[in-house]
Amino acid sequence: MSRLYTESTHLDLRRPPDSSSAPPAGADAVDERLGSDVAFDGAYERRIRALSSQHWTPVAIAARAARLLTRAGATRILDVGSGAGKFCIVGARATGAAFVGVERRADLVAVARRAALEMGAARATFIHANVEALPFAGFDGFYLYNPFFEHISRHLPLVDRTLERSGRAHRRVVRSIEEKLGALPAPAVVVTYHGFGGQLPPDFSHVGDEPAGNDRLELWIKRP
Ligand SMILES: C[S@@+](CC[C@H](N)C(=O)[O-])C[C@H]1O[C@@H](n2cnc3c(N)ncnc32)[C@H](O)[C@@H]1O
What's the confidence (pLDDT) of residue 29?
A: 85
CA dist., res. 92 & res. 118, Å (int)? 13
Distance CA 113, CA 115 (A): 5
How confident is the model at residue 13, as a pLDDT?
Answer: 52
Q: What pLDDT shows up at residue 2?
A: 33
Could you give phi then psi for residue 103, rounded to 5 degrees?
Answer: -145, 135
Segments of the chain scoring below 70 in pLDDT: 1-25
Ramachandran area for residue 27 (φ above 0: left; ψ -120 to 50: alpha; else beta): alpha
DSSP state of 134: S
Residue 15: what pLDDT?
47
pLDDT in tens, 92-144: 999 999 999 999 999 999 999 999 999 999 999 999 999 999 999 999 999 99
The CB density around residue 155, as the number of other CB atoms within 10 Å, is 5
Our answer on whether the CB atom of 116 is closer than 6 Å to any ligand 1 atom is no
Q: Is the CB of 79 under 6 A from ligand 1?
A: yes
Q: Tell me which DSSP letter residue 97 carries.
A: S
C-alpha closest to that of 187 among 222, 142, 220, 218:
222
The residue nearest atom 13 of ligand 1, judged by CA position, is 81
Task: Say if residue 211 is exposed, middle or buried (CB neighbours under 10 Å; 0-12, 13-18, 19+).
Answer: exposed
pTM for this model (two decimals): 0.91
SS3 content of the chain, % helix, strand, coil (to 5): 35, 20, 45
Question: Ligand 1 test: best mutation among 100, 126, 148, most atoms within 8 Å of CB?
Answer: 148
Looking at residue 28, its pLDDT comes to 86
Domains by residue range for the chain, with CATH: 22-222 (3.40.50.150)
40 and 83 Cβ atoms separated by less than 8 Å: no
- At 198 the pLDDT is 98
Q: How far is the CA of 7 from the centre of ligand 1 (A)?
A: 28
